């Protein structure tokens, strides 16, 4: 656990480009330190220690851009500070969701040089959509891959469909073997 102090998080950017990752990193760190309660709504019978609040504030402030530190300089309570930051950046979620949906709609197997690159992009898009409670089933993943084969590979597409893969990872394994 002492290694957690040595972790390096990138500062939350002013325009919020790394909002999702930054907020998740900070939240996970506060959980690991046992002080997540400092950013959550207070519970009447469980007051949060002032030292824990100060630790949380110091940690959060160290991981936001200097301009944001100045903007929220008067915030002293980690819960209200966390809510203010969330209010400031929550619109980013809509942008990320729209981008993930766009990326999914415009994902084509043929656009990638290798199966690994394609698989990596599918995993990235799938995890973003999952974060917003949009689930892609194995069937969705398989169908997307089949439909985006290049027209010259229609025979391959039909062969792979005939194999009736149960999991996307099985199809990727076969494609990786075929790539070699």
Mean pLDDT, each 10-residue run in order, the chain (180 residues): 57 80 87 90 82 90 88 90 87 84 93 92 92 89 88 82 86 83
21: which residues sit within 8 A by CB, 6+ positions away? 10
Give the total number of structural domains in the chain. 2
Task: Give the per-residue pLDDT at 41.
Answer: 84
Residues 10 and 66 in one domain: yes
Of the candidates 25, 55, 89, which is a domain's last residue? 89
CA distances from 156 to 35, 65, 159, 166 (A): 54, 50, 5, 17
DSSP SS3 for 38: helix
Using CA atoms of 146, 148, 152, 153 in order, give the dihedral in degrees to the nearest 10. Answer: -30
Q: The tokens of 75 are what?
A: 């915030």
Q: Which domain holds residue 74?
A: 2-89
* Residue finishing a domain among 62, 89, 116: 89
72: three-class secondary structure by DSSP: coil
């Amino acid at each position: 656990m002492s290694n957690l102090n040595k972790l390096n998080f990138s500062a939350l950017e002013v325009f919020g480009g790394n909002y999702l990752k930054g907020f998740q990193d900070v939240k996970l760190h506060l959980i690991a330190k046992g002080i997540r309660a400092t950013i959550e709504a207070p519970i009447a019978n469980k007051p949060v220690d002032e030292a824990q609040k100060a630790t949380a504030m110091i940690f959060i402030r160290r991981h936001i851009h200097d301009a944001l530190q100045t903007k929220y300089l008067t915030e002293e309570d980690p819960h209200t500070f966390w809510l203010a930051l969330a209010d400031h950046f929550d619109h980013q979620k809509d942008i990320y969701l729209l981008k993930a949906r766009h990326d999914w709609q415009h994902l084509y197997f043929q656009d990638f040089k290798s199966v690994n690159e394609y698989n990596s992009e599918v995993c990235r898009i799938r995890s973003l959509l999952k974060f917003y409670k949009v689930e892609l089933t194995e069937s969705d993943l398989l169908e997307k891959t089949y439909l985006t084969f290049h027209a010259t590979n229609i025979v391959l597409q039909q062969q792979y469909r005939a194999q009736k893969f149960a999991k996307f990872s099985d199809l990727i394994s076969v494609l990786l073997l075929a790539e070699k």
